[in-house]
């Protein structure tokens, strides 16, 4: 049986080690930063300009968790939308290298560094992607290895 949600997409067998995905870019607005922070990371330096100026970050900065979430969004739009993917399995060595401030524009690449069979999900493979994301001044902002589940090509589906 084929899965209607994943038809016409790339399956695990279609992916290649070393493939580099161009993630595109996204710009952080003040509203984006404060609305995420109110819900998930309500430290004053993510919410209030004057508190942020006095902090180690030196200005209103996005929560690192939001930076990561936006990297995921960039991956979804540039790659997952055309892949038979099925959610995050794990994240390794996530590093926040520099704060992301209001008006910063972030983007970069994700490189396929591992392809393995899933231990827990039959008919799925695991794909590891190394993220290298920087800001408009080419300063690194986020590195991580993110693993996602990808369905294997269903039996009978055309290659």
Partner 1 sequence: MTRWFEDIVLDEVFSLGSHNFEADDMVRFAALYDPQSLHTDREAAQHSQFGGLVASGWHIASVAHRKMVDALFAEEERLRTLGHEPGLSGPSPGVNSMDFPAPVRPGDVVSFRLVVTNKRHSNTIPGWGLLFNRLTGTNEQGQLVYEANLVGFSKLRDYRMPWWQKLLQALTRVPIIGPLLARRA
Instruction: Give the x/- contact pattern for partner 1 in 68-107, rule: CB under 8 A.
Output: xxx-xx--xx--xx---xxxxxxxxxxxx--x--------
Residue 54 engages partner 1 in binding (rule: CB under 8 A): no
- Cβ at position 94, least distance to partner 1 in Å: 4
- Cβ at position 102, least distance to partner 1 in Å: 17
Residue 121 engages partner 1 in binding (rule: CB under 8 A): yes
**Whole-number Cα distances in Å, 70 to 23, 25, 158:** 10, 10, 34
Instruction: Give the x/- contact pattern for partner 1 in 2-41, rule: CB under 8 A.
Output: -xxx---------------------------------xxx
Residues 60, 63, 67, CA angle at the centre, nearest 5°? 110
Residue 58 engages partner 1 in binding (rule: CB under 8 A): no
In a 13 Å sphere around the CA of 22, the CA atoms on its Cβ side amount to 2
Residue 47 engages partner 1 in binding (rule: CB under 8 A): no
| Tokens 């939001």 found at | 66
Q: Give whichever of 11 and 124 is closer to partner 1, judged by the CB atom.
A: 124
φ and ψ at 151, to 5 degrees?
A: -70, 145
Answer yes or no: are the C-beta atoms of 75 and 138 closer than 8 Å. Answer: no
């Amino acid at each position: 049986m084929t899965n209607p949600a994943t038809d016409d997409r790339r399956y695990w067998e279609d992916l290649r080690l070393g493939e580099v995905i161009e993630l595109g870019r996204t710009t952080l607005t003040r509203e984006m930063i404060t609305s995420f922070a109110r819900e998930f990371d309500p430290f004053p330096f993510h919410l209030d300009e004057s508190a942020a100026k006095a902090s180690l970050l030196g200005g209103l900065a996005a929560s690192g968790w939001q930076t990561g979430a936006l990297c995921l969004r960039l991956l979804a739009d540039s790659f997952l939308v055309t892949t038979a993917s099925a959610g995050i399995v794990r994240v390794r060595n996530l590093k926040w290298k520099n704060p992301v401030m209001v008006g910063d524009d972030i983007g970069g690449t994700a490189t396929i560094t591992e392809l393995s069979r899933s231990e827990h999900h039959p008919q799925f493979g695991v794909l590891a992607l190394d993220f290298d994301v920087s800001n408009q001044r080419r300063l690194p902002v986020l590195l991580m290895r993110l693993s996602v589940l990808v369905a294997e090509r269903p039996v009978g589906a055309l290659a």
